[in-house]
Amino acid sequence: MFQIKRICCIGAGYVGGPTCSVIAQMCPEVTVTVVDVNESRIKAWNSDTLPIYEPGLKEVVESSTPPQKYMPVLSNPEFLAEGTAVRDLKDPDRVLIGGDETAEGQRAIRALCAVYEHWVPKTRIITTNTWSSELSKLAANAFLAQRISSINSISALCEATGADVEEVAKAIGMDQRIGSKFLKASVGFGGSCFQKDVLNLVYLCEALNLPEVASYWQQVIDMNEYQRRRFACRIIDCLFNTVTGKKIALLGFSFKKDTGDTRESSSIYISKYLMDEGAKLFIYDPKVLKAQIMLDLSQPSISGDNPERVSDLVTVTSDPYEACQSAHALVICTEWDMFKELDYEKIYKKMLKPAFIFDGRRVLDHLHAQLQHIGFQIETIGKKVAATRIPYTPAAACPRIAATEPPTKKAKV
């Protein structure tokens, strides 16, 4: 019987690293090699400081070496969530293996199945042809992204009508045909997978002359961009229609909690819109390095032809209380659990008045009454916390971003 003794994984990032670490731990008789074009990343994997943060990862990692030979190429898409990747790999809901229908391809599929069967029940291992395997991954992420954009569209309606999107989501989720997962309204989805896979689906549909299908999935991306821009406009509107020169504390920069990954994070785009209006940003994240934040905000698509403005407008701090010192507003962009435990009385005393909290992740819902009693003005996604806002006279000039303008269509990947 064809038996796998060596596995070569190309790519030592957020997928390849954890996946091969778990395979190596579960299958000690298999030599697992991970390669990457980024030499510094490989050096980091071979050091005490791993290049990525993932709970449980440090305890399963072994050093990697260059490959000696290659095995048949199979499609083995991952269905992982950052922050729980190691746990998901050890107890997956399914493993998908695709390959060509030749005799050699089928032997390779059976051999890889045998590797996974060390710890995954056979009933959870699915084998398909290559196209089915790859499309399953794209479709799965597209469906999840679609649910997020759908509930975010409802959040805008809730704010206009006085409904609470959390109550609506709970009612919807109790319908067993729909379920409750991925119905959390927020400032939008991020990460490397959702947008990339949806855009790949759009591109594939256009290439295969399916424009109506392509347009349908493009709307998922458009709604995500609209939600980010709408949230930024709300901040500007509440701060008396201008944030020029005002200090804003932005808490959270990774695209979700329990990861240091910032790829396509909504925090990047919220920062861009506020910088476009001249806001002074003080950013705190417990796991994202200062260099990564400055690099993300200095990209041409974010800083335009003026990357120097980032160093002028952005300060990265190592303390959330320092970020909030003398700030006009506090903006929560990532749902880190620690933000629920901050001393908000201490923060309020140090902020300028009126002091605003913009909760883009609905992590402070249980504290609204307490925060209002302290003196905060609360704004959140999909709900009117207060019936009235502090009155103000809008400036003659409107902000350069508008929540109602059509979203810009992303370039296809």
Distances (CA, A) of 351 to 237, 284, 320: 19, 16, 12
Binding residues for NAD(+): 11-16, 36, 41, 82, 193-196, 263
Contacts of 189 (CB under 8 A, 6+ apart): 145, 148, 149, 195, 224, 255, 266
* Annotation marks residue 193 as catalytic: yes
At position 207, the amino acid (one-letter code) is A
Task: List the structure tokens of 3.
Answer: 């038996």
Helix, strand, coil abundance in the chain, percent, nearest 5:
45, 10, 45
d(CA 272, CA 246): 15
d(CA 65, CA 79): 26
Neighbour tally for 133: CB within 10 Å = 19
Binding residues: 11-16, 36, 41, 78-82, 137-141, 177, 184-190, 193-196, 255-256, 263, 361
Task: List the structure tokens of 248.
Answer: 């804003």
Choosing from 9, 27, 193, 238, which is the catalytic residue? Answer: 193
Binding residues for substrate: 78-82, 137-141, 177, 184-190, 255-256, 361
Ramachandran area for residue 336 (φ above 0: left; ψ -120 to 50: alpha; else beta): beta
Ramachandran area for residue 19 (φ above 0: left; ψ -120 to 50: alpha; else beta): alpha
Q: In the Cβ-directed half-sphere of 223, how many Cα atoms lie within 13 Å? A: 22
Helix (H) or strand (E) holding 331: strand 329-332
Active site residues: 193
